[in-house]
Structure formats: structure tokens, C-alpha cells
Chain A
């Protein structure tokens, strides 16, 4: 028991270093994720000199950077929702499956020719919220552990999507809906705008009201939060519903992108990328402080990495392994303990490298 004491202290210090507000270290938590992202982009530039080139055709920008942003969009939306769930100490494994359900609902509604676009989108988003409310109820009111509760929907959700699609890949021809996935506005692809809008609105909702603080309070200590009058169950219900909403939006983007709903593959394993992105952003799975910006940076790191591997010309079979190694490196760099040990091994680091 006594051995755990210093270990707990170290963990504590690491958490504080990353998250104490108002201290000089508050900016330091942005340092390592940003440094990793810049480093990755720099490697890309070495591999391919034209990496940063942008061209302007038919009213939109093209280039590798735009590709990275565009491809990140679904996971970025998931990560925004996942950040809140993880901040309360939970986890949501079902978001990939919720993407598939939302996609299949929209695709099938779009087969009805006379339905207005707004209604289809509203139905898709409502599906996501409903799925999130199921998760939230299981977690906060029935006290089922988040990983188990959302595992149910992760498995069942894809089945529901397959049932809705009756085992087929449902395709549709609706340019207005397809525009969500492949359109562009002011030179940027529409998915990128959707992420920016979602990010901005979430930031307003969470930081201009007390909601963000309540979520952090519940994540740090749910009992104490309840004792001071915060409805911790409602907060937990909200974060899962919010994650469901984000997942539905992501699902519609992917469906619009391929102009069809593939219940088997839509959003497959994306929940894991979203969780990884939040963790790369420096959040603790035990709950507490969150930063949407860091989570989005985490997504960009993952996506840039995938692009780098492709650009580097390595055989595709190396992809997953390299991805895991780089993620490990990013996580290690964020660990104070690792950096201290590294700096004692490499004396030069002491002068320049320590933040």
C-alpha cells in the first residue's frame, strides 16, 4: 500500500502539470501535441516537396493539407463528442455503430423522393440523440459501467443498421444530400465547415455557460458534485446524447460522401480513433478537465500520420504498426516522467528541450 503512494503522487503531478489553469504550465499542455503535429507535417514535406502546395480549381482548394482536413472530419466530430464523455470518466464505444444507423436512416428516407432535405437531416440527428440517450440512461440511471453499456449498442447498433438496410447497401441519388459530403463552400470542403461549425457551437455551449465546468466537476468527483447541487445524472445523460448527436452528423457525412449507406463498414472502428485522439490530446480516461481543441489536434495527428504512411510509399502492411508506434511516441512525449528520464540520459536536452 505504501508503494502506491509515490506513484499516485506522480500521476497527480502529471495531471496537474497538464491541467492546472492559470499556471505557466497551462500552455504547456498544448506544446507536445502541437509539436507532434508540426513534426509530422515536416516529415511529409521532406518526403514530398509538393506537400504544402494548394491549388484552386472550380471554386475550391485542392492539396494534401485539404485532404487531411477533409478526411479528418468524421473522426473530428466523434472526438468532440468523445471528449465530453471521457471528461465525465466514461467512454462511448458505440459512436461508430451510431454513424451506421444514422447513415442508414437517412439513406432509406432519401429513397422517398418527396421528403424535404431538412426533415431527413433532422431524422438522422434525432436518431443519434436517441441512441445517445439510451447509452446515457444505461450509464447514469441504471449504473451500468460505460464500457459495457456502450458495447451493447456498438454490437446491436450495427445490427439495427443492417436491418434497416435489409442487408443491402442502400444507394441514393440526391445531390442536395450528397453536397454534405462532397460539396464545398468558400473554397473549403463542406465536412470541414461542419467540423468548424460544430467546434465553434460546442465551445460556445460549453464555455460560455457553466456546462463545461459542470462536466469537469462531475468527472473529477461525481459525489461531491451531487452534494453541491449539480445534477450529475443529467450531466452524464447529456454527454452521451451529445456524443450521439456528433456521431449522427459524422454518419451523415460519410453516407453523403459515398452516396449510400453501407451498414457493415460505415464508421467501422472509428470510435477507437476518436478515443485515441482524445487521449493524444492529453485527457485522462479517469475524467476531469477536457479541451476540444486538443482533441481535434489529436485527430489531425492521426490523419496526418495515415497520409504520411501513404506518401512515404511504404507497403500498406506496415500502416497499422507504424501508426501504433508513432502514437506511443506522442503519448510518451506528453509524460513528464518520460521526459525527465530522457533529459537525464541526454544532457543536451536539459538546456533546450525542457518545457
Chain B
């Protein structure tokens, strides 16, 4: 193997925000033709490092060398011109434009200053074929699933003939076959000599694709390793420090399923266009997992039980009574709460403070005229910030400034404050680092022990197995099977998803 050449090097980079040292003396070396995994917990400084590297944030000190020359990117556009492309975690495209327009936005093929639509569409088609995506490039982006949109966002990054490609959590919303598709493309790019930065929370994927690993913790670099030389246990230790590791091991213990009277009974519920004839039962104090691929109907079940989508057939029974749900408020009144999958658009109310985000559900249930006194709001917020260990300097910080894991904790706190009988968690750990991940899993378990019933969807099967008493497998908007006891293993769930 020839020694790879250094493309981009960050030396002793620091970034200070008022009151916070987000990055302290961090080094990062990117080599041509390598996939470099950048790992760390939420708040470790991964995103900040990427933003400094791509010019979205100005560094406080330190040097950046690109192809051996010291350089300074004043804006992401400058970095992009130099050949550093970034694909962010949340799809950053324009849903109302066509796929082709999105791919070539800002650098459309032109003749005499006019856009050549035909040529653009052809090029778009060719580009997407490299991803084995054969779709109508003239259709608006919004028509396609999140997974396809994510691939298109990555294709856009590739289209700009990048020397360095930064992928921030590209696989968070992809199912396993789509992940493999993405990895094929990444390998292809690697052979072409592109340096790829890969940020992810999935450690298996790190070992599948990456050549080199840099671990950050609390804004500092823990170390740079060759993937082949670093066993997984040492990687986790580097990411978490010693004390948290035990937490993740506890997570593996299986929860004991209690047999109790049913709380939620779904009888052949259907929703026009998204669900058909689903039946399932959640007992009191039981955690039921919903497994399935993206689009299998797992989110749609949550939405139907929560009154977001109105049933076209079947019946929902809750605590022995039949529920007619027109809107989420009806479900909340009955004692059902939901942590939605789309945290940013359906969960948090970004500009409002943590305190307000925690108290709003309670307030909504009390009604607008009985305002919760500010002092009680502060006590409530302080209680949950302490109990769920939400990392924030104060309760009046806008929630949008928190990391994903902490936002999720705030939303959990919001529901704990009204103590629902059934808590629905739609992908509660999506895009959350291992530390917060373990904490949330532990929290879910303790809720279960306190007698709260849970309905949980997750694409991480190991996680479902860890706390669910029963797993319901969905495929193509229908229920395939139900697994419990010894049958309930990640292996079996996988098979059920694949074969039915």
C-alpha cells in the first residue's frame, strides 16, 4: 500500500463560544482515498469541527492546510469552490423544485447564459444511476421518501466534483439496503481519490467502511486510529470514557415482560393510503416494539393511535373504552402521548425556552385560562433538567440551541410532566449519540417498571430487543408477525422483516 497523500489538515484548531470552549486544540488529517470516521458523543464537537473546516464558522485559533498550503475559508461557498462539499444530517434541499434542479442548483449547465434543461436532466439521470436510483428527475423532490432525498443530497455533494466530501450522519434515515447502496458509492469515490469524512452513530458502519478514525470528546481530540487496529471495545472506551461504558452494558439486560390486562387494543385499524388491518395489543406496564423498514407503516401506526391520521376502518380501544380520535388533543385527553420521529418539525418549538417546551403539554391540558405560575414552571423545568440530566446552563435557553439528545430529553420531560398511561416513542434514539442513547434507553426501562405502557419504534433492533416485552413486525403497511420471549432476537426480527 502506498502512503496516502494528505489533502486537508487541521492543526490545533480552537473554537470558543461565549462561555463554552467547543473545540480545544483539535487536529484532523484527511488523506486522499480514505474514509475517515469522525466519532464522538453529541456535544463532543463534531459538528463544530465540520463547520470550522467548511467555513460556516470562523475558528478562534489554529491553522488549516489544504493540499499543503495554509488557507482560510471565509464561507461555505469558498470551501465548496476549493472542493470541500458537505452533506448535512437534515436534508437541506428545496422540496418544491425538481430532483434535477436540486442536483444542479447554482451550477446548472448553461448555453448563452440560459439553462439547458434537457442536458441537466440527462446529467441528473446519469448521476443518480451511479447510486442505482432510477427515478423521474423532473418530479418535485417532495414526492420522494426521506431516504431518497438523502441520497440525492449526497449525489449533489458528489456532483460538485469534490476533493473532500463531508457526510454528516448520512445513514440516520436510511434502511440497510440503502446504506449498502451509499457505501458502494463511497467506495467508488474512495477509489477515485476523494477524502471522505463520515460522521455516524452506528459503530458497525464505521467498521464496515472507514479506514481511519478520529475520536472527539468534550471538544478535544482523544486520538486518531487506523480502523483495523482499533477493537470496538477500545473505540467505545475512547468515545465515552470508562464510567459510561457500564451503562451501555446494563442496556443489554433484557426487561422482564409482565403479563397484565390490556391497555391499548387495535382491532384491524386501517388508514386510507398508509395502513391496512393492523391489530395489536399493549398491556399495562408493557413495552411493545414496532419493527420494520422505513415506510413499513411503523410511524403510521403511531400517528393513527395518536389521532394525527384519522382511521378509515377498525377500532382503537383504550382502557376498555372505544376511542374516536380527531386530533392529538383527543389522544392526550385519553392519556396517550407521542414523541414524534421528526423532532425538529413535529417535536420541539425551536425559539421557545426549555422551560416553556417542558410545560406546554401540561398547560395545554390545564387549558389556556389556568396559567401555570412562572415559579412552578421553573420548578418543573429544574426538576426535569436535573432528573434527565439535560445539559444546559439554564432553563431559559431556546431549545433549538441544544443538541439532539438533549432536545429529545426535553420532549420526554414534557410528557413525563403529564404522566400519560401510554407513551408512544417514534424512533426515540434517532441521531442521538451513545451516551444520551444509553440514558434514554435506561429511562424507557424505568418508565416501564413504574407501570407506564410504551409503544416504541426503532430501526435499531438490538435496542428494541433490549427493552421491549414484545416486538410487532410490520412490512408493506401490514403486520407480519409478533415475536416475544426467546423468539425475540435481532436475528429473528431481521428474518421476519425480510421474509414475513
**Hey, which bits of chain A sit against chain B, CB under 8 A?**
1-6, 9, 12, 15-16, 19-23, 208-211, 213-214, 216-217, 220-221, 223-231, 288-289
Whether B371 contacts A2 by the Cβ 8 Å rule is no
Which A residues are in CB contact (< 8 Å) with B366?
210
Query: Cβ of B351 and Cβ of A227 under 8 Å apart?
Result: no
Cα–Cα, bound, A221→B364 (Å): 15
B195 — which chain A residues lie within 8 A by C-beta?
A: none
Whether A20 contacts B396 by the Cβ 8 Å rule is yes
Query: Which residue of A is nearest B92, CB measured?
Result: A1
A19:B351 contact, CB within 8 angstroms = yes
Q: Do residues B329 and A231 form an inter-chain contact, with CB atoms below 8 A?
A: yes
Instruction: List the A residue with the shortest CB-CB distance to B51.
Output: A5
How many whole Å from A211's CB to the nearest CB in chain B? 5
Shortest beta-carbon distance from B339 to chain A in Å: 9
Q: A1-B105, A22-B353 are in contact. List 4 more A-B contacts (CB 8 A).
A: A3-B76, A22-B394, A217-B352, A226-B329
Q: Contact partner of B368 among A210, A227, A288, CB < 8 A?
A: A210
Which chain B residue lies CB-closest to A222? Answer: B349
Q: Which residues of B contact A23 (CB under 8 A)?
A: 396
CB distance from B201 to the nearest CB of A (A): 22
Determine if B112 is an interface residue (Cβ-Cβ < 8 Å).
no
B251 CB within 8 Å of chain A: no
Q: Which of B5-13, B261-269, B340-348 contacts A (4 or more CB under 8 A)?
A: B340-348
**By CB atoms of chain B within 10 A, which of A3, A9, A216, A227 has the most?**
A227
- Check if A1 sits within 8 Å of B352, measured CB to CB: no
Complexed CA–CA distance, A230 and B351 (Å): 17
Contacting A at CB under 8 A, from B344-375, are 345-353, 356, 360-361, 363-372
Among B94, B340, B360, B394, point to the contact of A1 (Cβ < 8 A).
B94
Please tell me if B398 contacts chain A, counting CB pairs below 8 Å.
yes
Min C-beta distance of B345 to chain A, whole Å: 6
Cβ contact within 8 Å between A22 and B396: yes
With A3-B77, A21-B396 given, is the CB distance from A221 to B349 under 8 Å? yes
B185 CB-CB contact with A under 8 Å: no
Q: Given A6-B76, A15-B351, A209-B371, do A227 and B93 touch, yes or no (CB 8 Å)?
A: no
Pick the contact of A229 from B56, B365, B401 — CB < 8 Å?
Answer: B365
Task: Give the distance in Å from the alpha carbon of A289 to the alpha carbon of B353 in the complex.
Answer: 11
How far does the alpha carbon of A20 sit from the alpha carbon of B93 in the complex, in Å? Answer: 28
B328 on the interface (CB 8 Å rule)? yes
Give, as a whole number of angstroms, the nearest-CB distance from A267 to chain B: 30
Count of interface residues, chain B, beta-carbon cutoff 8 Å: 55
Residues of B within 8 A of A225 (CB): 349, 360
Q: When chains A and B are docked, how far (Å) is the Cα of A9 from the Cα of B56?
A: 9
A209 contact from B75, B340, B369, Cβ within 8 A: B369
Report the nearest A residue to B330, measured CB to CB: A229
Q: Flag if A221 contacts B345 (CB, 8 Å).
A: yes
Contact A1 B156 (CB under 8 A): yes
B308 at the interface (CB under 8 A from A): yes
- Does B197 touch A at the CB level, under 8 Å? no
Complex A-B: 16 CB contacts under 8 Å: A1-B102, A2-B54, A2-B85, A3-B76, A3-B77, A6-B75, A15-B351, A20-B397, A22-B396, A209-B369, A209-B371, A216-B352, A220-B349, A224-B346, A228-B364, A229-B332
Contact of B92 among A5, A214, A217 (CB under 8 A): A5
| B327:A221 contact, CB within 8 angstroms | no
Contact A210 B363 (CB under 8 A): yes
Residue of A nearest to B415 (CB): A228
Which chain A residues lie closer than 8 Å to B372 at the CB level? 210
Report if A227-B75 is in contact (Cβ < 8 Å); known contacts: A1-B92, A16-B398, A21-B396: no
Which chain B positions have C-beta within 8 A of A220? 349-352
Question: Is the CB–CB distance between B328 and A224 below 8 Å?
Answer: no
| A229 & B328 in contact (Cβ 8 Å cutoff) | yes
Chain B: minimal CB distance from A13 (Å): 10
Give, as a whole number of angstroms, the nearest-CB distance from B235 to chain A: 30
Residue among A15, A213, A225, A288 with the most chain B CB within 10 A?
A213
Smallest CB–CB gap between B214 and chain A, Å?
23
Q: In the bound complex, how far is the Cα of B160 from the Cα of A1, in angstroms?
A: 12
For A3, the chain B residues whose CB sits under 8 A away are 75-77, 106
Query: A227 and B360: CB pair below 8 A?
Result: no
The interface residues of chain A lying within 8 Å CB-to-CB of B105 are 1
CB contacts (< 8 Å) of B210 on chain A: these are none
Chain B neighbourhood of A231, CB < 8 A? 327, 329
Chain A residues contacting B353 (CB-CB under 8 Å) are: 20-22
**Residues of chain B within 8 A of A208, CB atoms compared:** 371
Q: A228 to B329: give the CA distance in the assembly, Å.
A: 7
- Residues of B within 8 Å of A22, CB to CB, are 353, 394, 396
Q: Give, as a whole number of angstroms, the nearest-CB distance from A179 to chain B.
A: 34
- Determine if A230 and B92 form an interchain contact, defined as CB atoms under 8 angstroms apart: no
B351 touches A16 (CB 8 A): yes
Q: Would A223 and B371 count as touching, CB distance under 8 A?
A: no
CB distance from B66 to the nearest CB of A (A): 17
Contacts of B345 in A (CB 8 A): 221, 223-224
Instruction: Convert B306-343 into 0s and 1s, putting 1 for each residue whose CB lies closer than 8 angstroms to a CB of A.
Output: 10100000000000000000011100110000101000
The yes or no answer to B408 lying at the interface (CB within 8 A) is: no
Tell me the smallest distance from the CB of A238 to a CB of chain B, in Å: 9
Nearest chain B CB to A160 CB, angstrom units:
32
- Least CB distance from A221 to B in Å reads 5
Residues of B within 8 A of A221 (CB): 345, 348-350
Kindly list chain B residues whose C-beta atoms are within 8 Å of the C-beta of A5.
56, 76, 88, 92
**A111 to B80 CA separation, bound complex (whole angstroms):** 72
B350-A228 in contact (CB<8A): no
The smallest C-beta distance from B107 to any residue of chain A, in angstroms, reads 12
- Residues from chain B with a CB closer than 8 A to the CB of A216 are 352
Q: Do A2 and B77 touch (CB < 8 A)?
A: yes
CA distance A16 to B352 in the complex (A): 10
Q: Could you mark each residue 388-407 of chain B with 1 if its beta carbon is under 8 Å from any beta carbon of chain A, else 0?
A: 00000010111011000000
Q: Measured between C-beta atoms, what is the minimum distance from A249 to chain B in Å?
A: 23
| Docked complex: B69-114 residues within 8 A CB-CB of A | 75-77, 80, 85-86, 88, 92-94, 102, 105-106
Taken together as a complex, chains A and B put the C-alpha atoms of A314 and B396 apart, in Å, by 49
- For residue A169, give the distance in angstroms from its CB to the closest CB of chain B: 42
